C-alpha cells in the first residue's frame, strides 16, 4: 500500500535520485514476469505516482484516498486555474482509467485476496 504527498522537501536530492532507481527496479521485476499491484491509500501525489507507482498494470485505491500528479493548491498557483473539488478523488481516477478499482477500507483484505487469486492461482498462499 502506498501513501505519499510526493517527495518531501526535506528529502531533497536523495529523494529525487531514488525515484528512477526504484522505477528501474520495478521495470526489471515486471519484465521478469513479477506481479506488481499498487493500492493507493490516503493521499498519493507527484513523482511516485508518475514513476514507480505508475508502472503497475494493476492499480487500485481505497475509497477515501486522493490521487494526482499535483495537489489543488499547486495546480492553482502554477496554472492560475481551479480544478473541480472531486478531481483527485479515487472515483475520478477510476472514471479516467488511471486505476482499475476502488475498494472500501473494510473490504481491503477480501478484495486483495480476490485479486491475487485471479492473477495468481488457487494454490496461492495468503492469510
Q: Is residue 124 part of a domain?
A: no
pTM: 0.74
Q: Which of 38-42, 60-64, 70-74 has the lowest mean pLDDT?
A: 70-74
User: Number of folded domains in the chain?
Assistant: 1
Q: How far apart are CA 119 and CA 43, in angstroms?
A: 26
Q: Is residue 29 part of a domain?
A: yes
Closest residue by Cα to residue 53 from 110, 4, 8, 103:
4
Q: How many CA atoms lie within 13 A of 105 on its CB side?
A: 7
Closest residue by Cα to residue 88 from 44, 41, 38, 37:
44
CATH code for the domain of 22: 3.90.226.10
pLDDT tier at 34, thresholds 50, 70, 90? confident
Q: How far apart are CA 79 and CA 38, in angstroms?
A: 29
pLDDT score, position 10: 53
In 32-122, which ranges are continuous DSSP H helix?
Answer: 47-50, 72-79, 90-96, 108-119
Q: Which of 41-45, 65-69, 104-108 has the lowest mean pLDDT?
A: 41-45
Q: Is residue 127 part of a domain?
A: no
Percent of the chain with pLDDT over 70: 77
Domain that holds residue 103: 2-119
Beta bridge partners of 101: 60
Percent of the chain with pLDDT over 90: 16
Beta bridge partners of 45: 68
Q: Is residue 55 part of a domain?
A: yes
Q: Is the pLDDT of residue 97 over 80?
A: yes
Q: Is residue 12 part of a domain?
A: yes
Q: Is residue 79 part of a domain?
A: yes
Task: Taking residues 101-121, report their average pLDDT.
Answer: 87
Q: Is residue 125 part of a domain?
A: no
Amino acid at each position: 500500500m502506498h501513501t505519499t504527498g510526493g517527495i518531501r522537501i526535506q528529502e531533497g536530492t536523495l529523494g529525487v535520485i531514488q525515484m528512477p532507481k526504484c522505477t528501474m527496479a520495478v521495470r526489471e521485476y515486471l519484465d521478469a514476469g513479477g506481479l506488481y499491484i499498487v493500492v493507493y491509500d490516503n493521499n498519493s501525489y507527484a513523482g511516485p505516482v508518475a514513476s514507480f507507482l505508475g508502472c503497475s498494470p494493476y492499480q487500485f485505491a481505497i475509497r477515501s484516498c486522493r490521487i494526482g500528479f499535483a495537489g489543488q493548491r499547486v495546480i492553482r498557483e502554477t496554472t492560475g486555474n481551479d480544478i473541480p473539488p472531486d478531481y483527485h478523488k479515487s472515483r475520478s481516477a477510476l472514471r479516467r482509467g488511471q486505476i482499475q478499482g476502488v475498494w472500501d477500507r473494510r473490504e481491503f483484505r477480501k478484495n486483495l485476496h480476490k485479486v491475487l487469486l485471479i492473477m495468481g492461482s488457487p494454490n496461492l498462499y495468503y492469510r
